[in-house]
């Protein structure tokens, strides 16, 4: 067991080194200096934290009750819209911008928690006897939420127009400037990762959750109401996803498709990490987040140089493939495809994921 954990950590380490090495190599080769390497790290971690916020709830909820909450992406979108609306409403224009952002995020989180309770108590609870319908239902709820958001805010996405203090401050990584807001999101993400880990490890409720993920029937046999714990975790998962959407809104804006992308990314994360495994989710988020940015960097680079099969040495097939991939399909696609391709690869090669048990 311990041996296997060590082996997994070695695999994870190799993947990290490969990703960062590729990024560093491309940054050096592109001649722009080390700046793009900094972009990969900051943007990658930024995405990773957002992915984690969606994936954490998804993973624990699935571990407890085998329910995959496909509405989680919609909650992310709700968070983005609520935060955007609160920040840009003329009614609250008197509040200082920084405070308004924080209040907006808090409001979004509360709304997410309330909607989470409604979904779990009102809609999922009647379906405890029919687990597959629960997944079908969350799929439907995600669509309904999307339609309601569309009815309220229209189809066009909302851009974050009014900046606030955090966004204007700058910090420098490898000669590349970023707004402090990005650092803020990354730090908050890390704090949450650690906080949830501590919660799971050292509190009684955390022990119940971990035991429930291991074997929920056994926990129930011990006289603990797993359903009740499940409701709490489900609500927390929805709240955290909404929080993620709200926190990301200044950067991503609020749009109908925002959540879906992160939902698929988060599903990739939890499958990669191993369904129900918390450390897998945390590490998987960072892996998927970084991988997306590395792919963007590489395709950018491949696009900027015109790869000539003659000068590419013997690898004319590879050169042709690179040319084709950037000319024909458009490079932006590759980054949005990355989580899905990772997901498919994991399912093909190691379906139980990095830290998962054989199921």
Q: Quote the tokens at residue 277.
A: 């495994």
Say if residues 48 and 187 touch (Cβ distance below 8 Å).
Answer: no
> Which 319-338 positions form the footprint of another protein (CB under 8 A)?
327-330, 332-333, 336-337
Q: Kindly write down the DSSP assignment for every residue of 247-284, as one continuous string.
A: HHHHHH-B-TTHHHHHHHHHHHHHHHH-TT-HHHHHHH
Q: Interface with another protein includes 133 (CB under 8 A)?
A: yes
Nearer to another protein, 88 or 350 (CB): 350
- What is the greatest pairwise CA distance in the chain? 72
Say if residues 243 and 108 touch (Cβ distance below 8 Å).
Answer: yes
Nearer to another protein, 38 or 280 (CB): 280
Taking CB under 8 A as the rule, which mask of x and - marks residues 6-35 in contact with another protein? ------------------------------
Q: Interface with another protein includes 147 (CB under 8 A)?
A: yes
Q: Interface with another protein includes 130 (CB under 8 A)?
A: yes
Rounded least distance, CB 346 to another protein, Å = 10
Using alpha carbons, select from 334, 187, 346 the residue that is nearest to residue 270.
346
> Which 339-358 positions form the footprint of another protein (CB under 8 A)?
340-341, 343-344, 347-348, 351
Torsion of CA 144, 148, 150, 151, to 10 degrees: 140
Nearer to another protein, 56 or 271 (CB): 271
Instruction: Return the axis-axis angle of helices 331-349 and 278-304, rounded to nearest 10°.
Output: 140
Using alpha carbons, select from 292, 285, 199, 203 the residue that is nearest to residue 241.
285
Q: Which residue in the set 27, 268, 282, 288 belongs to the binding site for another protein (CB under 8 A)?
A: 268
Rounded least distance, CB 352 to another protein, Å = 8
Nearer to another protein, 204 or 359 (CB): 359
The CA–CA distances, whole Å, from 186 to 35, 43, 168, 175, 248 equal 19, 9, 16, 19, 11
Q: Which residue in the set 106, 110, 117, 127 belongs to the binding site for another protein (CB under 8 A)?
A: 127
Q: Which residue in the set 68, 113, 192, 294 belongs to the binding site for another protein (CB under 8 A)?
A: 68
- Interface residues with another protein (CB under 8 A) are 62, 66, 68, 70, 123, 126-127, 130, 132-133, 135-137, 139-141, 143-144, 147-148, 151, 264, 267-268, 271, 327-330, 332-333, 336-337, 340-341, 343-344, 347-348, 351, 359
């Amino acid at each position: 067991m311990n041996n296997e954990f060590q082996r997994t950590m070695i695999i994870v380490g190799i993947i990290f080194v490969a990703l960062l090495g590729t990024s560093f190599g491309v940054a050096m080769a592109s001649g722009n200096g080390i700046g793009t390497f900094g972009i990969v790290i900051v943007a990658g971690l930024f995405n990773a934290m957002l992915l984690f916020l969606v994936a954490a709830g998804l993973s624990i909820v699935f571990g407890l009750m085998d329910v995959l909450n496909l509405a989680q992406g919609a909650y992310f979108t709700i968070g983005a819209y609520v935060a955007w609306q609160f920040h840009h409403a003329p009614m609250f224009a008197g509040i200082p911008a920084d405070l308004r952002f924080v209040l907006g995020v808090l409001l979004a989180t509360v709304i997410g928690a309330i909607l989470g309770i409604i979904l779990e108590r009102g809609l999922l609870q009647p379906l405890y006897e029919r687990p597959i319908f629960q997944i079908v239902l969350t799929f439907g709820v995600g669509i309904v939420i999307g339609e309601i958001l569309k009815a309220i805010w229209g189809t066009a996405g909302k851009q974050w127009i009014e900046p606030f203090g955090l966004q204007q401050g700058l910090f420098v990584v490898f000669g590349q400037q970023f707004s402090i807001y990005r650092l803020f999101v990354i730090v908050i993400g890390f704090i949450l990762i650690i906080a949830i880990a501590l919660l799971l490890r050292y509190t009684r409720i955390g022990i119940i959750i971990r035991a429930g993920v291991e074997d929920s029937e056994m926990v129930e046999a011990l006289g603990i109401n797993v359903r009740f714990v499940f409701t709490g975790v489900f609500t927390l998962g929805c709240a955290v996803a909404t929080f993620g959407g709200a926190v990301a809104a200044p950067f991503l804006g609020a749009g109908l498709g925002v959540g879906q992308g992160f939902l698929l990314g988060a599903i990739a994360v939890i499958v990669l990490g191993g369904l129900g495994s918390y450390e897998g989710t945390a590490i998987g988020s960072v892996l998927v987040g970084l991988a997306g940015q590395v792919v963007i960097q590489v395709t950018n680079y491949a696009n900027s140089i015109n790869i000539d099969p003659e000068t590419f040495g013997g690898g004319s097939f590879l050169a042709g493939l690179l040319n084709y991939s950037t000319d024909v399909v458009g490079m932006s696609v590759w980054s949005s495809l990355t989580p899905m391709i990772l997901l498919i690869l994991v399912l093909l090669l190691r379906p139980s994921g990095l830290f998962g048990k054989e199921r």
